[in-house]
Structures are given as structure tokens and as C-alpha cells.
């Protein structure tokens, strides 16, 4: 590497919730400001039907909340490895492949980075989760292959990958003064990824770090899953979730599940789904909740509600209680949420994360007492119940935290400089 010259290549952290672009330049921070002065671009596209144009990031969320007619698409990364990826969706009266929507967003990241850099980028290191898809190597490889095709279609000539937690490890390595055995815990919007890495100041500039990576692992659980469980347990009961039919059976849950899951919210607006819901109403014991559900669907307020729940989850990393006003749906309606409710709701998910970490240590032949540091990154890594569960697993390890939204992008920039000069 030539440290006195800007890197030829960039690194892109395409995240489920937020994305960043890193580019190493002498004397400058590695992360590029993508929207105003902010280093993150929310992974959101809003197709503004009134003006027949797509908008991205915070502006997309703003136009949606301002009430423009259109369609909001978020958690785009969740498409990778899903059955939706090979299908189309209807936009402005025509069919658009979901891969083209991915291309629009990734193209924005490329264009904004190039505008700031005042030069084109032809090589890129893309971050990827350890597993796009759990327990399905073929689907996982298909997800990576799709991302390569999309990246080349938008103008990259050379595309390579680095695991996101490994990239975070390389960012953390810039800060240490001695050798450490570090467990990287990256809790993003869609996945939880782990790497066990030996880091040291004298190893920072080595091109080959294969022997320093002792193990990688992960599970398809992330912040959007925490949002979903908080919604189902704390909000959706006000909309009939868990209610009973006149037959004493539980009310079908597909509409609530779709509303609590970012990339399926639009499904509840389909005519067929609404007809099924209206037919169901005649057989519901207490129609209070389902009638609120109709109001929410009529207002197309599913994404608005999901954003409110996400904000509550973030607040509950610090606060014990949070009131969610649903005045928009019904005067005086409030969902009372708490840190303990969130913890109970996500306990099964945390157990799966802990099990995955235990498997990782066993695979590496490393005892919990040998871990020097747990380094947290990813937007959902600050959930107190998550920290507590990992501390119980690794009680002697020091806990450290980098830039929760920027460590991966910075690490990918370091990797891009090593690979492409």
C-alpha cells in the first residue's frame, strides 16, 4: 500500500437499515458523507408516484411521512436470499424486478461517493454477512452472486467481498496497543454476525490475515427482528393480535405478522388481503382491534407504525418505559412499552444468538476465559438484554464499542486499499 495516496477502491457496507461508503484518503476520516453531512444513508427507497421519481434515504422517509402518494421500500438487503428476489413488483403501472430496485439503491451509494471523491470507482469491496441465509449454502451463494451482478450492472468492474465482522475487526485494530483475542459481535438490521480474530498493532498492514481469523459464524437475526417482536408483543394486541374468533380459535395472524415485518408491510394493502380481513370480521368476538386494523390499513400507515416501533426500541436501550401514541389511529390510543417487555419479547432470539456464539467458540477450540475483548458494532448492538446475555456467556471479557454504524464501512475501506491499492 502507498499510504500517501488516496485508495483506488472504496468499500461499501450495504446494510439492512443503514449503508455507508468508506474510502481511504491521507489525513481524512474514511467514511464519506452520503446525505448532507451524515455518513449513513438509510437503506430506503420511496417511489414518489406524484412526481414519478425514486428518492432515497432520509429524504425518502420525509416524503413518505409528508403524505406523498407512493410506495416505500425498506430493509432492501432482506431481499437477498429470499424468494422475492427472483420476482417483480408493480410500480407506476409496470413491473420492476426486485434486483433493479437493489441496483437503484446501490447505484445511489456509488454516485454519491463518486460525486464527493470527484473520481469514478471501478473496484469495490462489499461487506456481506457471514450467512445471507441460515443453513442453505446454495441460497447463500445465490445471494452473493446476485449482489455481484447488481454491482457490475451499476458500473463496478472488480467486485470482492469481506465478512462484515472481519471488516469491523480491522477498524477496531487501528485503536489497540497490544495483541488481543477479540470476539466481534455485529448486530445489524437483518443478521447477527460474529468473528473470532487475533489482532495486533504490528499486523495491521499485512495483506494476508487468514491465520488470524480463528472462526466466523452468525445467525439470521437482527434489529428488524427485535422490532417485529416488540410490535407483536406490545402494539399489535391493540389491533386484534391474539384475539379470539367466535369459535374460540385465535384470530389468524398473517396481517399482523406482515405489518410487523418491514419488507412485507405492503402485502396488507393488497385487495385480496383486505377482502379476507373484512370477511373475517363477522367471526371475531371483539371487533375493536380489527376495526383499528382497518383504519391503519386505510391510512396505509404500516410503515409509519413500524418506524414508531423502531424509535421506541432505540429509546428503550436507555429508558425503562416508553409510551407510543397511536392518536393517528384513534383518539387517546397509546401503547405502553417497556424495557422488560422488549427483553421478554426477544428472549428466544437472544437464546439463539448465544447458542450461535457458543458454537463459534467450540468450533475454534477457544474457552470463554481466553477472550480478551468483545467488540460490539451494528445499530442494534446496544440493546441492554443483548449485552447482558453476552456478558453472561463471556463474563471476563472487556466490552468495547466502536462507531455502531461506521465500523464496518471503515474496515471495508482498509480492506479495499490493501486489495486494490
* Domain range enclosing 299: 224-343
pLDDT of residue 88: 84
Domain-located, residue 367: no
Residues 174 and 237 in one domain: no
pLDDT of residue 159: 97
The grid cell for 53 is 421519481
Domain-located, residue 170: yes
pLDDT of residue 407: 94
Residues 35 and 167 in one domain: yes
pLDDT of residue 142: 92
Domain-located, residue 164: yes
pTM: 0.86
The grid cell for 216 is 466466523
- Cα-flanking dihedrals φ and ψ of residue 389, to 5°? -65, -35
Closest Cα to residue 32, out of 45, 56, 13? 13
Domain-located, residue 397: no
Encode the chain (421 residues) as per-residue pLDDT tens digits.
Answer: 455 789 999 999 999 899 999 999 998 999 999 999 999 999 999 999 988 899 999 999 999 988 898 989 888 898 887 877 788 888 877 888 999 999 999 999 999 999 999 999 999 999 999 888 888 899 899 999 999 999 999 999 999 999 999 999 999 999 999 999 999 999 998 899 999 999 999 988 887 888 899 999 999 999 999 999 999 999 999 999 999 999 999 999 999 999 999 888 989 999 999 999 999 999 999 999 999 999 999 999 999 999 999 999 999 999 999 999 999 999 999 999 999 999 999 999 999 999 999 999 999 999 999 999 999 999 899 999 999 999 999 999 999 998 888 999 999 999 999 999 9
Residues 148 and 266 in one domain: no
Residues 24 and 125 in one domain: yes
Domain-located, residue 201: no
Residues 148 and 243 in one domain: no
Residues 151 and 41 in one domain: yes
Domain-located, residue 211: no
* Count of structural domains, the chain: 2
Residues 163 and 16 in one domain: yes
pLDDT of residue 226: 97
What whole-number distance in Å separates Cα of residue 164 and Cα of residue 81? 17
Is residue 311 within 8 A of residue 231, CB to CB? The reply is no
What whole-number distance in Å separates Cα of residue 146 and Cα of residue 19? 18
Where a domain ends, among 321, 343, 365? 343
pLDDT of residue 3: 54
Where a domain ends, among 343, 363, 387? 343
Is residue 415 within 8 A of residue 1, CB to CB? The reply is no
The grid cell for 273 is 388481503
Residues 60 and 164 in one domain: yes
Domain-located, residue 243: yes
Three-point CA angle 152, 378, 171, nearest 5°: 75
pLDDT of residue 1: 47
Residues 137 and 40 in one domain: yes
Residues 29 and 174 in one domain: yes
Where a domain ends, among 343, 360, 390? 343
Residues 141 and 267 in one domain: no
Residues 256 and 311 in one domain: yes
Domain-located, residue 90: yes
Amino acid at each position: 500500500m502507498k499510504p500517501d495516496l488516496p485508495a483506488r477502491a472504496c468499500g461499501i457496507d450495504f446494510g439492512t437499515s443503514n449503508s455507508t461508503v468508506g474510502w481511504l484518503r491521507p489525513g481524512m476520516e474514511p467514511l464519506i458523507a452520503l446525505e448532507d453531512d451524515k455518513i449513513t444513508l438509510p437503506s430506503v427507497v420511496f417511489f414518489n408516484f406524484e412526481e414519478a421519481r425514486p428518492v432515497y434515504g432520509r429524504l425518502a422517509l420525509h416524503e413518505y411521512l409528508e403524505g406523498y402518494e407512493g410506495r416505500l421500500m425498506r430493509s432492501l438487503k432482506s431481499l437477498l436470499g429470499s424468494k422475492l428476489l427472483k420476482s417483480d413488483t408493480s410500480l407506476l403501472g409496470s413491473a420492476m424486478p426486485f434486483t433493479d430496485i437493489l441496483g437503484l439503491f446501490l447505484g445511489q451509494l456509488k454516485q454519491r461517493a463518486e460525486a464527493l471523491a470527484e473520481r469514478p470507482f471501478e473496484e469495490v469491496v462489499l461487506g456481506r454477512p457471514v450467512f445471507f441465509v441460515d443453513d442453505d449454502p446454495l441460497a447463500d451463494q445465490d445471494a452473493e452472486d446476485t449482489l455481484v451482478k447488481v454491482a457490475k450492472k451499476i458500473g463496478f468492474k472488480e467486485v470482492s467481498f469481506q465478512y462484515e465482522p472481519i471488516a469491523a475487526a480491522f477498524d477496531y485494530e487501528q485503536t489497540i496497543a497490544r495483541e488481543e483475542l477479540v470476539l466481534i459481535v455485529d448486530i445489524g438490521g437483518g443478521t447477527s454476525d460474529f468473528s473470532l480474530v487475533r489482532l495486533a498493532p504490528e499486523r495491521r498492514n499485512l495483506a494476508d490475515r487468514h491465520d488470524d481469523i480463528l472462526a466466523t459464524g452468525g445467525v439470521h437475526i437482527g434489529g428488524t427482528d427485535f422490532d417485529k417482536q416488540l410490535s407483536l408483543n406490545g402494539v399489535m394486541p391493540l389491533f386484534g393480535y391474539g384475539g379470539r374468533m367466535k369459535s374460540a380459535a385465535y384470530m389468524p395472524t398473517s396481517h399482523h405478522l406482515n405489518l410487523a415485518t418491514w419488507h412485507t408491510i405492503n402485502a396488507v394493502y393488497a385487495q385480496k388481503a383486505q377482502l379476507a380481513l373484512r370477511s373475517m370480521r363477522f367471526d371475531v368476538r371483539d371487533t375493536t382491534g380489527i376495526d383499528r386494523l382497518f383504519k391503519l390499513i386505510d391510512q396505509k400507515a404500516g410503515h409509519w407504525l413500524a418506524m414508531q416501533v423502531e424509535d421506541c426500541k432505540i429509546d428503550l436501550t436507555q429508558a425503562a418505559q416508553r409510551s407510543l401514541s397511536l392518536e393517528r389511529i384513534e383518539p387517546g390510543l397509546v401503547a405502553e412499552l417497556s424495557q422488560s417487555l422488549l427483553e421478554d419479547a426477544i428472549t428466544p432470539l437472544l437464546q439463539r444468538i448465544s447458542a450461535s456464539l457458543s458454537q463459534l467458540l467450540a468450533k475454534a477450540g477457544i474457552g470463554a476465559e481466553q477472550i480478551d475483548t468483545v467488540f460490539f458494532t451494528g445499530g442494534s448492538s446496544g440493546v441492554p438484554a443483548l449485552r447482558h446475555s453476552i456478558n453472561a456467556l463471556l463474563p471476563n471479557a472487556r466490552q468495547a464499542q466502536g462507531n455502531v454504524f461506521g465500523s464496518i464501512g471503515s474496515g471495508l475501506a482498509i480492506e479495499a486499499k490493501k486489495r486494490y491499492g
